[in-house]
Structure 1
Amino acid sequence: MINGLDHIVVLVDDIKAGAKAYELLLGRAPCWRSHGDGSETVLFTLDNVSLELMAPAGNSPTANRIRNVINIWGEGLASICFRVGDIEKTFRRLDRVAMKPEPVAAVESRDLDSGRTLHWKRTRVETELARGIRMFFLELAEERPRSAVTSAAPILALDHVVVSTEDPERAAALYGARLDLEMALDRSHQDWGQLMFFRCGDLIVEIVRRPVAGADQTHDKLWGLSWRVADIGATRARLVASGLDVSEVRAGRKPGTRVMSVRNGTCGIHTLLLERAARAS
Protein backbone atom coordinates (compact mmCIF):
# COMPACT_ATOMS: atom_id res chain seq x y z
CA MET A 1 0.00 0.00 0.00
CA ILE A 2 2.68 2.53 1.04
CA ASN A 3 5.69 3.10 -1.23
CA GLY A 4 7.47 5.68 0.90
CA LEU A 5 7.14 8.95 2.75
CA ASP A 6 6.05 11.63 0.28
CA HIS A 7 6.40 14.74 2.42
CA ILE A 8 6.40 16.19 5.90
CA VAL A 9 4.59 19.42 6.77
CA VAL A 10 6.21 21.96 9.07
CA LEU A 11 4.22 24.94 10.33
CA VAL A 12 6.17 28.20 10.50
CA ASP A 13 5.16 31.69 11.52
CA ASP A 14 7.04 33.46 8.70
CA ILE A 15 7.49 31.68 5.36
CA LYS A 16 10.52 33.75 4.30
CA ALA A 17 12.35 33.14 7.57
CA GLY A 18 11.48 29.42 7.49
CA ALA A 19 12.68 29.03 3.92
CA LYS A 20 15.93 30.84 4.72
CA ALA A 21 16.53 28.62 7.75
CA TYR A 22 16.05 25.39 5.81
CA GLU A 23 18.04 26.53 2.80
CA LEU A 24 20.91 27.06 5.22
CA LEU A 25 20.40 23.73 7.01
CA LEU A 26 19.86 21.58 3.92
CA GLY A 27 22.34 23.37 1.68
CA ARG A 28 19.63 23.35 -1.00
CA ALA A 29 17.26 25.84 -2.60
CA PRO A 30 13.48 25.63 -2.46
CA CYS A 31 12.02 23.86 -5.49
CA TRP A 32 8.39 25.01 -5.22
CA ARG A 33 6.55 28.03 -3.86
CA SER A 34 2.78 28.29 -3.80
CA HIS A 35 -0.08 30.23 -2.27
CA GLY A 36 -3.38 28.64 -1.30
CA ASP A 37 -6.47 29.41 0.73
CA GLY A 38 -5.05 30.94 3.87
CA SER A 39 -1.51 29.61 3.52
CA GLU A 40 1.85 30.09 1.83
CA THR A 41 4.04 27.06 1.20
CA VAL A 42 7.65 26.40 0.27
CA LEU A 43 8.92 22.93 -0.65
CA PHE A 44 12.36 21.39 -0.53
CA THR A 45 12.61 18.06 -2.37
CA LEU A 46 15.50 15.68 -1.65
CA ASP A 47 16.23 12.15 -2.83
CA ASN A 48 13.50 10.43 -0.83
CA VAL A 49 11.17 13.04 0.65
CA SER A 50 9.88 16.58 0.38
CA LEU A 51 9.78 19.04 3.27
CA GLU A 52 6.83 21.41 3.06
CA LEU A 53 6.96 24.63 5.06
CA MET A 54 3.54 26.18 5.59
CA ALA A 55 2.74 29.62 7.04
CA PRO A 56 -0.56 31.44 7.54
CA ALA A 57 -1.51 34.09 4.98
CA GLY A 58 -4.41 36.53 5.33
CA ASN A 59 -7.34 36.19 7.72
CA SER A 60 -9.30 33.23 6.39
CA PRO A 61 -10.45 30.38 8.67
CA THR A 62 -7.52 28.28 7.41
CA ALA A 63 -4.99 31.02 8.19
CA ASN A 64 -6.44 31.55 11.65
CA ARG A 65 -6.41 27.81 12.35
CA ILE A 66 -2.70 27.63 11.44
CA ARG A 67 -1.95 30.65 13.64
CA ASN A 68 -3.85 29.07 16.50
CA VAL A 69 -1.83 25.85 16.25
CA ILE A 70 1.44 27.82 16.20
CA ASN A 71 0.31 29.96 19.14
CA ILE A 72 -0.46 26.86 21.22
CA TRP A 73 2.31 24.46 20.19
CA GLY A 74 4.91 26.66 18.49
CA GLU A 75 6.49 26.09 15.10
CA GLY A 76 7.27 22.51 14.19
CA LEU A 77 6.14 19.24 12.69
CA ALA A 78 2.44 19.18 11.81
CA SER A 79 1.67 16.17 9.61
CA ILE A 80 3.10 13.36 7.49
CA CYS A 81 1.99 12.21 4.05
CA PHE A 82 2.73 8.73 2.72
CA ARG A 83 3.25 8.06 -1.01
CA VAL A 84 1.08 5.32 -2.50
CA GLY A 85 0.79 3.82 -5.98
CA ASP A 86 -3.00 3.45 -6.10
CA ILE A 87 -5.00 5.89 -3.98
CA GLU A 88 -8.33 4.13 -4.56
CA LYS A 89 -6.91 0.81 -3.39
CA THR A 90 -5.33 2.58 -0.41
CA PHE A 91 -8.66 4.17 0.46
CA ARG A 92 -10.38 0.78 0.45
CA ARG A 93 -7.73 -0.75 2.70
CA LEU A 94 -7.81 2.17 5.15
CA ASP A 95 -11.57 1.87 5.29
CA ARG A 96 -11.31 -1.89 5.83
CA VAL A 97 -8.98 -1.43 8.82
CA ALA A 98 -11.33 1.18 10.32
CA MET A 99 -9.15 4.28 9.82
CA LYS A 100 -12.16 6.27 8.50
CA PRO A 101 -10.45 7.83 5.45
CA GLU A 102 -11.92 10.95 3.89
CA PRO A 103 -13.18 10.67 0.29
CA VAL A 104 -10.35 10.81 -2.24
CA ALA A 105 -9.85 14.36 -3.52
CA ALA A 106 -8.03 15.66 -6.59
CA VAL A 107 -5.65 18.52 -5.78
CA GLU A 108 -3.29 20.74 -7.75
CA SER A 109 -0.59 23.25 -6.93
CA ARG A 110 0.97 25.97 -9.11
CA ASP A 111 4.56 27.09 -8.61
CA LEU A 112 4.70 30.87 -8.27
CA ASP A 113 8.12 31.10 -9.93
CA SER A 114 7.84 28.78 -12.95
CA GLY A 115 4.08 28.56 -13.41
CA ARG A 116 4.36 24.77 -13.50
CA THR A 117 1.42 22.80 -12.09
CA LEU A 118 1.48 19.55 -10.12
CA HIS A 119 -1.50 17.25 -9.65
CA TRP A 120 -2.23 14.58 -7.09
CA LYS A 121 -4.99 12.64 -5.38
CA ARG A 122 -5.09 12.29 -1.64
CA THR A 123 -7.00 11.09 1.37
CA ARG A 124 -6.47 11.52 5.08
CA VAL A 125 -7.48 9.38 8.01
CA GLU A 126 -9.20 10.47 11.19
CA THR A 127 -6.52 11.98 13.41
CA GLU A 128 -7.76 10.29 16.59
CA LEU A 129 -7.50 6.89 14.88
CA ALA A 130 -3.89 7.70 13.95
CA ARG A 131 -3.14 8.32 17.65
CA GLY A 132 -3.17 12.10 17.26
CA ILE A 133 -0.90 12.25 14.20
CA ARG A 134 -2.29 14.13 11.18
CA MET A 135 -1.74 11.53 8.47
CA PHE A 136 -2.31 11.82 4.70
CA PHE A 137 -1.90 9.42 1.76
CA LEU A 138 -1.07 10.72 -1.70
CA GLU A 139 -0.78 9.49 -5.29
CA LEU A 140 1.30 12.02 -7.21
CA ALA A 141 0.68 12.37 -10.97
CA GLU A 142 4.02 14.06 -11.75
CA GLU A 143 7.33 14.07 -9.91
CA ARG A 144 8.35 17.28 -8.18
CA PRO A 145 11.54 19.04 -9.28
CA ARG A 146 14.53 18.44 -6.99
CA SER A 147 16.01 21.15 -4.81
CA ALA A 148 19.25 22.46 -6.30
CA VAL A 149 22.40 22.26 -4.18
CA THR A 150 23.47 25.71 -2.97
CA SER A 151 26.29 24.86 -0.54
CA ALA A 152 29.07 22.36 -0.03
CA ALA A 153 28.28 19.21 1.98
CA PRO A 154 24.49 19.39 1.59
CA ILE A 155 21.97 17.09 3.23
CA LEU A 156 21.18 14.18 0.93
CA ALA A 157 17.95 12.61 2.16
CA LEU A 158 15.83 11.84 5.19
CA ASP A 159 16.97 8.89 7.29
CA HIS A 160 14.34 8.79 10.08
CA VAL A 161 11.15 10.54 11.06
CA VAL A 162 10.72 10.09 14.81
CA VAL A 163 7.38 9.59 16.54
CA SER A 164 7.18 9.69 20.34
CA THR A 165 4.66 7.38 22.02
CA GLU A 166 3.61 6.33 25.51
CA ASP A 167 1.88 3.17 24.24
CA PRO A 168 4.30 1.21 22.03
CA GLU A 169 1.96 -1.75 21.62
CA ARG A 170 -0.82 0.34 20.09
CA ALA A 171 1.68 2.35 18.04
CA ALA A 172 3.10 -0.91 16.67
CA ALA A 173 -0.40 -2.07 15.79
CA LEU A 174 -1.01 1.19 13.90
CA TYR A 175 2.19 1.29 11.84
CA GLY A 176 2.64 -2.45 11.44
CA ALA A 177 -0.79 -4.09 11.23
CA ARG A 178 -2.95 -1.23 9.95
CA LEU A 179 -0.49 0.65 7.72
CA ASP A 180 1.38 -2.53 6.75
CA LEU A 181 4.90 -1.16 7.28
CA GLU A 182 7.61 -3.74 7.93
CA MET A 183 9.08 -3.74 11.44
CA ALA A 184 12.87 -3.78 11.19
CA LEU A 185 13.79 -3.37 14.87
CA ASP A 186 12.25 -3.59 18.34
CA ARG A 187 14.76 -2.87 21.07
CA SER A 188 14.74 -1.55 24.64
CA HIS A 189 17.56 0.08 26.58
CA GLN A 190 17.64 1.38 30.14
CA ASP A 191 19.15 4.72 29.05
CA TRP A 192 17.01 5.63 26.03
CA GLY A 193 13.82 3.58 26.34
CA GLN A 194 12.17 1.47 23.66
CA LEU A 195 12.79 1.89 19.94
CA MET A 196 10.84 0.38 17.04
CA PHE A 197 11.88 0.90 13.42
CA PHE A 198 9.39 0.55 10.55
CA ARG A 199 10.69 0.57 6.98
CA CYS A 200 9.03 3.14 4.71
CA GLY A 201 10.70 3.10 1.30
CA ASP A 202 14.39 3.75 1.94
CA LEU A 203 13.85 5.58 5.24
CA ILE A 204 12.62 4.65 8.70
CA VAL A 205 9.62 5.64 10.77
CA GLU A 206 11.11 5.41 14.27
CA ILE A 207 8.74 4.95 17.20
CA VAL A 208 10.36 5.83 20.51
CA ARG A 209 9.08 5.52 24.05
CA ARG A 210 10.83 7.49 26.76
CA PRO A 211 8.63 7.09 29.85
CA VAL A 212 7.49 10.44 31.25
CA ALA A 213 5.27 10.79 34.30
CA GLY A 214 1.81 12.04 33.38
CA ALA A 215 2.38 11.74 29.63
CA ASP A 216 -0.54 11.25 27.21
CA GLN A 217 -1.19 7.53 26.71
CA THR A 218 -3.56 7.96 23.76
CA HIS A 219 -1.83 10.56 21.57
CA ASP A 220 1.54 10.18 19.91
CA LYS A 221 3.65 13.14 18.77
CA LEU A 222 5.76 13.88 15.71
CA TRP A 223 9.03 14.43 17.55
CA GLY A 224 11.98 14.89 15.22
CA LEU A 225 13.88 14.29 11.98
CA SER A 226 17.17 12.58 11.24
CA TRP A 227 18.81 13.68 7.98
CA ARG A 228 21.38 11.70 5.98
CA VAL A 229 24.71 13.28 4.96
CA ALA A 230 27.73 12.02 3.04
CA ASP A 231 30.47 13.65 5.15
CA ILE A 232 29.31 14.70 8.60
CA GLY A 233 32.55 16.53 9.36
CA ALA A 234 32.21 18.71 6.26
CA THR A 235 28.52 19.35 6.95
CA ARG A 236 29.30 20.32 10.54
CA ALA A 237 31.99 22.75 9.39
CA ARG A 238 29.53 24.37 6.97
CA LEU A 239 26.82 24.77 9.60
CA VAL A 240 29.23 26.13 12.23
CA ALA A 241 30.55 28.66 9.71
CA SER A 242 26.95 29.72 9.08
CA GLY A 243 26.41 30.39 12.78
CA LEU A 244 24.31 27.38 13.78
CA ASP A 245 24.71 25.76 17.18
CA VAL A 246 25.57 22.10 16.64
CA SER A 247 27.00 19.34 18.82
CA GLU A 248 30.26 17.54 18.35
CA VAL A 249 30.17 14.49 16.10
CA ARG A 250 29.64 11.26 18.07
CA ALA A 251 29.11 7.58 17.39
CA GLY A 252 25.50 6.70 16.59
CA ARG A 253 23.50 3.95 18.26
CA LYS A 254 23.65 1.91 15.07
CA PRO A 255 27.14 0.48 14.51
CA GLY A 256 28.98 2.22 11.71
CA THR A 257 27.14 5.53 11.99
CA ARG A 258 28.20 8.96 13.21
CA VAL A 259 25.72 11.63 14.28
CA MET A 260 25.43 15.17 15.54
CA SER A 261 22.57 17.30 16.87
CA VAL A 262 21.47 20.65 15.43
CA ARG A 263 20.33 22.84 18.32
CA ASN A 264 18.85 25.85 16.49
CA GLY A 265 17.72 26.99 13.07
CA THR A 266 15.26 24.09 12.63
CA CYS A 267 11.91 25.83 13.34
CA GLY A 268 11.48 23.97 16.61
CA ILE A 269 12.20 20.47 15.30
CA HIS A 270 14.52 18.04 17.13
CA THR A 271 17.11 17.47 14.42
CA LEU A 272 19.91 14.94 14.00
CA LEU A 273 22.36 14.55 11.12
CA LEU A 274 23.65 11.05 10.37
CA GLU A 275 26.52 9.66 8.34
CA ARG A 276 26.47 5.99 7.39
CA ALA A 277 29.69 4.09 7.03
CA ALA A 278 30.52 3.08 3.47
CA ARG A 279 29.59 -0.52 2.76
CA ALA A 280 32.36 -2.91 1.86
CA SER A 281 32.22 -3.97 -1.79
Structure 2
Amino acid sequence: MITGLDHIVLVCPEIVTGTAVYSALLGRAPDWQSVSGDGGATALFRVSNTALELMAPHGDGPLAERLGEIITDEGPGLKSLAFGTQDIEHAHHRLTRRGLKPHEIIPAESQSEISDETRNWRRFRCADAETAGIKTFLIEHVSGAPEPLDAPEGAVTGLDHIVINTPNPDRAAALYGARLGLDLALDRTAPEWKTRFLFFRTGGLTLEVINRLGEAHDASANDTIWGLTWEVDDLEAAHERLLDGGFDVSELRTGRKPGSRVFTIRNGTLNVPTLFISHDPK
Protein backbone atom coordinates (compact mmCIF):
# COMPACT_ATOMS: atom_id res chain seq x y z
CA MET A 1 0.00 0.00 0.00
CA ILE A 2 2.76 2.46 0.96
CA THR A 3 5.84 2.46 -1.27
CA GLY A 4 7.96 4.88 0.77
CA LEU A 5 8.15 8.35 2.25
CA ASP A 6 7.48 10.53 -0.78
CA HIS A 7 8.39 13.79 0.93
CA ILE A 8 8.61 15.75 4.17
CA VAL A 9 7.26 19.30 4.44
CA LEU A 10 9.35 21.99 6.12
CA VAL A 11 7.48 25.25 6.68
CA CYS A 12 9.70 28.33 6.53
CA PRO A 13 9.01 32.06 6.76
CA GLU A 14 10.25 33.02 3.29
CA ILE A 15 10.97 30.80 0.31
CA VAL A 16 14.01 32.55 -1.20
CA THR A 17 15.98 32.50 2.04
CA GLY A 18 14.84 28.98 2.91
CA THR A 19 15.85 27.68 -0.51
CA ALA A 20 19.28 29.31 -0.22
CA VAL A 21 19.80 27.75 3.23
CA TYR A 22 18.91 24.24 2.10
CA SER A 23 20.76 24.48 -1.20
CA ALA A 24 23.88 25.23 0.83
CA LEU A 25 23.11 22.62 3.48
CA LEU A 26 22.33 19.76 1.09
CA GLY A 27 24.94 20.78 -1.48
CA ARG A 28 22.46 20.62 -4.34
CA ALA A 29 19.98 22.85 -6.11
CA PRO A 30 16.21 22.34 -5.85
CA ASP A 31 14.64 20.10 -8.48
CA TRP A 32 11.35 22.02 -8.56
CA GLN A 33 10.13 25.46 -7.55
CA SER A 34 6.60 26.76 -7.86
CA VAL A 35 4.13 29.37 -6.67
CA SER A 36 0.47 28.55 -6.10
CA GLY A 37 -2.50 30.82 -6.55
CA ASP A 38 -3.66 30.39 -2.96
CA GLY A 39 -0.65 32.02 -1.36
CA GLY A 40 2.10 29.44 -1.13
CA ALA A 41 5.55 28.96 -2.62
CA THR A 42 7.51 25.69 -2.64
CA ALA A 43 10.98 24.36 -3.38
CA LEU A 44 11.52 20.63 -3.71
CA PHE A 45 14.84 18.88 -3.08
CA ARG A 46 14.59 15.26 -4.22
CA VAL A 47 17.23 12.74 -3.15
CA SER A 48 17.48 9.03 -3.88
CA ASN A 49 14.75 7.83 -1.49
CA THR A 50 12.56 10.83 -0.61
CA ALA A 51 12.29 14.60 -0.97
CA LEU A 52 12.28 17.66 1.24
CA GLU A 53 9.64 20.22 0.31
CA LEU A 54 10.09 23.75 1.63
CA MET A 55 6.82 25.65 1.87
CA ALA A 56 6.40 29.34 2.69
CA PRO A 57 3.72 32.03 2.52
CA HIS A 58 3.75 33.98 -0.73
CA GLY A 59 1.41 36.90 -1.29
CA ASP A 60 -2.19 36.64 -0.16
CA GLY A 61 -4.56 33.70 0.03
CA PRO A 62 -5.84 31.02 2.38
CA LEU A 63 -2.64 28.98 2.25
CA ALA A 64 -0.51 32.03 3.05
CA GLU A 65 -2.76 32.71 6.01
CA ARG A 66 -2.54 29.13 7.31
CA LEU A 67 1.24 29.00 6.90
CA GLY A 68 1.59 32.34 8.67
CA GLU A 69 -0.44 31.02 11.60
CA ILE A 70 1.73 27.89 11.83
CA ILE A 71 4.93 29.94 11.83
CA THR A 72 3.55 32.34 14.47
CA ASP A 73 2.19 29.59 16.73
CA GLU A 74 4.85 26.89 16.32
CA GLY A 75 7.82 28.43 14.54
CA PRO A 76 9.40 27.09 11.34
CA GLY A 77 10.23 23.41 11.09
CA LEU A 78 9.10 19.98 9.95
CA LYS A 79 5.30 19.74 9.88
CA SER A 80 4.05 17.00 7.52
CA LEU A 81 4.78 13.50 6.20
CA ALA A 82 3.59 12.44 2.75
CA PHE A 83 3.78 8.71 2.02
CA GLY A 84 3.81 7.42 -1.54
CA THR A 85 1.38 4.90 -2.99
CA GLN A 86 0.76 3.48 -6.46
CA ASP A 87 -2.97 3.00 -5.91
CA ILE A 88 -4.58 5.94 -4.12
CA GLU A 89 -8.10 4.44 -4.12
CA HIS A 90 -6.90 1.21 -2.56
CA ALA A 91 -4.91 3.12 0.05
CA HIS A 92 -7.91 5.31 0.85
CA HIS A 93 -10.12 2.24 1.28
CA ARG A 94 -7.59 0.43 3.49
CA LEU A 95 -6.97 3.42 5.75
CA THR A 96 -10.69 4.04 6.05
CA ARG A 97 -11.08 0.44 7.24
CA ARG A 98 -8.21 0.98 9.67
CA GLY A 99 -9.84 3.99 11.28
CA LEU A 100 -7.55 6.78 10.03
CA LYS A 101 -10.58 8.72 8.72
CA PRO A 102 -8.98 9.93 5.48
CA HIS A 103 -10.32 13.05 3.80
CA GLU A 104 -11.45 12.87 0.18
CA ILE A 105 -8.96 12.26 -2.62
CA ILE A 106 -8.17 15.50 -4.42
CA PRO A 107 -6.14 16.20 -7.58
CA ALA A 108 -3.31 18.74 -7.66
CA GLU A 109 -1.05 20.31 -10.28
CA SER A 110 2.15 22.33 -10.20
CA GLN A 111 4.25 24.06 -12.83
CA SER A 112 7.97 24.42 -12.22
CA GLU A 113 9.58 27.84 -12.41
CA ILE A 114 12.86 26.07 -13.17
CA SER A 115 11.85 24.08 -16.26
CA ASP A 116 8.24 25.11 -17.07
CA GLU A 117 7.30 21.44 -16.77
CA THR A 118 4.01 20.43 -15.16
CA ARG A 119 3.40 17.62 -12.72
CA ASN A 120 0.13 16.13 -11.54
CA TRP A 121 -0.71 14.05 -8.50
CA ARG A 122 -3.58 12.95 -6.29
CA ARG A 123 -3.53 12.95 -2.52
CA PHE A 124 -5.54 12.67 0.65
CA ARG A 125 -4.93 13.61 4.26
CA CYS A 126 -5.60 11.42 7.26
CA ALA A 127 -7.36 12.89 10.28
CA ASP A 128 -4.83 14.58 12.57
CA ALA A 129 -6.53 13.10 15.63
CA GLU A 130 -5.76 9.60 14.29
CA THR A 131 -2.11 10.33 13.40
CA ALA A 132 -1.07 11.75 16.78
CA GLY A 133 -1.14 15.31 15.49
CA ILE A 134 1.37 14.87 12.66
CA LYS A 135 -0.12 16.01 9.34
CA THR A 136 -0.03 12.78 7.33
CA PHE A 137 -0.82 12.46 3.63
CA LEU A 138 -0.76 9.76 0.98
CA ILE A 139 0.16 10.78 -2.55
CA GLU A 140 0.04 9.09 -5.95
CA HIS A 141 2.00 10.71 -8.77
CA VAL A 142 0.09 10.82 -12.05
CA SER A 143 2.61 12.53 -14.35
CA GLY A 144 5.76 14.62 -14.28
CA ALA A 145 7.24 13.53 -10.93
CA PRO A 146 10.70 15.18 -10.72
CA GLU A 147 13.76 13.00 -10.67
CA PRO A 148 16.69 13.86 -8.37
CA LEU A 149 19.53 15.84 -9.89
CA ASP A 150 23.01 14.32 -9.88
CA ALA A 151 24.66 14.85 -6.51
CA PRO A 152 27.88 16.92 -6.57
CA GLU A 153 30.85 15.86 -4.45
CA GLY A 154 30.07 16.17 -0.76
CA ALA A 155 26.34 16.60 -1.40
CA VAL A 156 23.56 14.73 0.31
CA THR A 157 22.56 11.59 -1.59
CA GLY A 158 19.65 10.31 0.52
CA LEU A 159 17.85 10.44 3.86
CA ASP A 160 19.13 7.86 6.31
CA HIS A 161 16.37 8.39 8.87
CA ILE A 162 13.81 10.82 10.24
CA VAL A 163 13.26 11.11 13.99
CA ILE A 164 9.82 11.40 15.55
CA ASN A 165 9.29 12.09 19.26
CA THR A 166 6.36 10.37 20.92
CA PRO A 167 4.97 10.40 24.47
CA ASN A 168 3.17 7.13 23.71
CA PRO A 169 5.32 4.46 21.99
CA ASP A 170 2.57 1.83 21.97
CA ARG A 171 0.28 4.22 20.11
CA ALA A 172 3.10 4.91 17.63
CA ALA A 173 3.66 1.18 17.11
CA ALA A 174 -0.02 0.76 16.28
CA LEU A 175 -0.11 3.81 13.98
CA TYR A 176 3.00 3.21 11.89
CA GLY A 177 3.01 -0.58 12.06
CA ALA A 178 -0.55 -1.91 12.16
CA ARG A 179 -2.46 0.98 10.61
CA LEU A 180 -0.07 2.45 8.02
CA GLY A 181 1.55 -0.94 7.43
CA LEU A 182 5.22 0.01 7.72
CA ASP A 183 7.77 -2.65 8.64
CA LEU A 184 8.56 -2.56 12.36
CA ALA A 185 12.24 -3.54 12.26
CA LEU A 186 13.21 -2.77 15.86
CA ASP A 187 11.58 -2.16 19.23
CA ARG A 188 14.37 -1.69 21.74
CA THR A 189 14.70 -0.06 25.13
CA ALA A 190 18.20 1.33 25.72
CA PRO A 191 18.67 2.29 29.39
CA GLU A 192 22.11 3.71 28.66
CA TRP A 193 20.46 6.34 26.45
CA LYS A 194 17.26 6.54 28.51
CA THR A 195 15.25 5.93 25.36
CA ARG A 196 12.90 3.43 23.80
CA PHE A 197 13.48 3.16 20.05
CA LEU A 198 11.04 1.93 17.41
CA PHE A 199 12.42 1.67 13.85
CA PHE A 200 10.03 1.47 10.91
CA ARG A 201 11.45 0.79 7.44
CA THR A 202 9.91 2.05 4.23
CA GLY A 203 11.30 2.86 0.80
CA GLY A 204 14.96 2.62 1.77
CA LEU A 205 14.86 4.81 4.87
CA THR A 206 13.93 4.56 8.55
CA LEU A 207 11.35 6.32 10.67
CA GLU A 208 13.01 6.37 14.09
CA VAL A 209 10.32 6.90 16.72
CA ILE A 210 11.75 7.65 20.15
CA ASN A 211 10.31 7.86 23.64
CA ARG A 212 12.44 9.47 26.34
CA LEU A 213 12.49 7.33 29.48
CA GLY A 214 12.41 8.87 32.92
CA GLU A 215 10.44 11.92 31.76
CA ALA A 216 6.86 12.74 32.63
CA HIS A 217 4.67 12.19 29.55
CA ASP A 218 1.06 12.90 28.77
CA ALA A 219 0.21 9.77 26.78
CA SER A 220 -2.57 11.64 24.94
CA ALA A 221 -0.26 14.44 23.75
CA ASN A 222 0.78 14.74 20.11
CA ASP A 223 3.86 13.29 18.47
CA THR A 224 6.29 15.71 16.80
CA ILE A 225 8.67 15.41 13.86
CA TRP A 226 12.03 16.16 15.44
CA GLY A 227 15.01 15.89 13.10
CA LEU A 228 16.69 14.48 10.00
CA THR A 229 19.84 12.45 9.34
CA TRP A 230 21.13 12.94 5.80
CA GLU A 231 23.40 10.41 4.11
CA VAL A 232 26.51 11.35 2.13
CA ASP A 233 29.09 9.25 0.33
CA ASP A 234 32.07 11.32 1.49
CA LEU A 235 31.68 12.62 5.04
CA GLU A 236 34.97 14.53 5.04
CA ALA A 237 34.04 16.37 1.84
CA ALA A 238 30.60 17.24 3.24
CA HIS A 239 32.15 18.44 6.51
CA GLU A 240 34.65 20.66 4.68
CA ARG A 241 31.95 22.01 2.35
CA LEU A 242 29.71 23.03 5.25
CA LEU A 243 32.58 24.60 7.20
CA ASP A 244 33.47 26.64 4.11
CA GLY A 245 29.80 27.60 3.83
CA GLY A 246 29.77 29.08 7.33
CA PHE A 247 27.74 26.38 9.08
CA ASP A 248 28.46 25.58 12.72
CA VAL A 249 29.31 21.87 12.59
CA SER A 250 30.64 19.44 15.15
CA GLU A 251 33.70 17.27 14.84
CA LEU A 252 33.52 13.98 12.98
CA ARG A 253 32.75 11.07 15.32
CA THR A 254 31.75 7.41 15.33
CA GLY A 255 28.02 6.89 14.96
CA ARG A 256 25.75 4.55 16.90
CA LYS A 257 25.24 2.37 13.85
CA PRO A 258 28.13 -0.08 13.37
CA GLY A 259 30.40 1.14 10.59
CA SER A 260 29.00 4.67 10.56
CA ARG A 261 30.49 8.09 11.17
CA VAL A 262 28.54 11.29 11.77
CA PHE A 263 28.66 14.99 12.51
CA THR A 264 26.03 17.45 13.72
CA ILE A 265 24.86 20.74 12.22
CA ARG A 266 24.43 22.89 15.32
CA ASN A 267 22.24 25.67 13.90
CA GLY A 268 21.12 27.43 10.72
CA THR A 269 18.75 24.63 9.64
CA LEU A 270 15.40 26.42 10.15
CA ASN A 271 14.73 24.75 13.48
CA VAL A 272 15.50 21.20 12.28
CA PRO A 273 18.02 19.15 14.34
CA THR A 274 20.29 17.77 11.64
CA LEU A 275 22.92 15.04 11.43
CA PHE A 276 25.07 13.91 8.51
CA ILE A 277 26.09 10.25 8.26
CA SER A 278 28.22 8.00 6.07
CA HIS A 279 28.50 4.23 6.16
CA ASP A 280 31.54 2.04 5.71
CA PRO A 281 30.90 0.19 2.41
CA LYS A 282 32.46 -2.92 3.97
Fold conserved between structures, TM > 0.5: yes
**Cα deviation 1:12-57 (Å, max 9, x = unaligned):** 0011110000000111001111111111111111111111100011
Q: Report the counterpart of residue 4 of structure 1 in structure 2.
A: 4
CA contact 1:10–1:76 (8 Å) conserved in 2: yes
CA contact (8 A) 1:29 1:148 kept: no
Runs of 5+ in structure 1 lacking a partner?
none
Partner of 1:232: 235
For residues 276 and 214 of structure 2, the distance between their equivalents in structure 1, rounded to whole angstroms, comes to: 25
In 1, the alpha carbon distance for the partners of 2:149 and 2:10 equals: 17
Alpha-carbon separation, structure 2, partners of 1:57 and 1:216 = 36
User: Are 2:153 and 2:234, in contact at CA under 8 Å, matched by a contact in 1?
Assistant: no
For 1:52, the equivalent position in structure 2 comes to 53
- Stretches of 4+ aligned residues off by more than 3 angstroms: 211-216
Q: Kindly indicate whether residue 80 of structure 2 is the aligned counterpart of residue 68 of structure 1.
A: no
Q: Give the drift of 1:214.
A: 4.7
| Number of the residue aligned with 1:201 | 203
Structure 2: how far apart are the matches of 1:231 and 1:272?
A: 14
Determine helix, strand or coil for the equivalent of 1:67. Answer: helix
CA distance in 1, matches of 2:161, 2:97: 28
- C-alpha separation between the residues in 1 aligned to 2:277 and 2:250? 12
**Separation in 2, partners of 1:233, 1:186:** 32
Kindly indicate whether the alpha-carbon contact (under 8 Å) linking 2:30 and 2:44 is maintained by their aligned counterparts in 1.
Answer: yes
Specify the alignment match of 2:244 in structure 1: 241
Unaligned runs of 5+ in 2: none
What is the Cα deviation at residue 256 of structure 1?
0.9
* CA distance in structure 2 between the partners assigned to 1:232 and 1:94 by the alignment: 40
CA distance in 2, matches of 1:49, 1:170: 25
Inter-partner Cα distance in structure 2 for 1:215 and 1:22: 33
CA distance in 2, matches of 1:47, 1:27: 14
The counterpart of 2:258, out of the listed 255, 259, 271, is: 255
Residue aligning to 2:219:
217
The percentage of aligned residue pairs carrying the same residue is 43
Distance 1:79 1:212, change over 3 A: farther
Kindly provide the CA deviation profile for residues 222-260 of structure 1, in whole angstroms up to 9, marking residues without a partner as x. Answer: 011111111111111110111100111111111111111
Note the C-alpha offset of 1:126.
Answer: 0.2
After alignment, is 207-216 or 71-80 more displaced? 207-216
Q: Which amino acid aligns with 2:179?
A: R
Q: Is the Cα–Cα contact under 8 Å of residues 166 and 211 in structure 1 kept in the other structure? A: no
CA-to-aligned-CA distance 1:162-208 (integer Å, 9 cap, x gap) = 11001101100100000111111111112430111100110001101
1:217 is matched by which residue type in structure 2?
Answer: A
Measured against aligned partners, the alpha-carbon deviations of 1:114-148 in whole angstroms (never above 9, x if no partner) come to 21100111111001100011000001123313235
| RMSD, matched Cα | 1.3
- Report which stretch shifted further, 256-265 or 3-12: 256-265
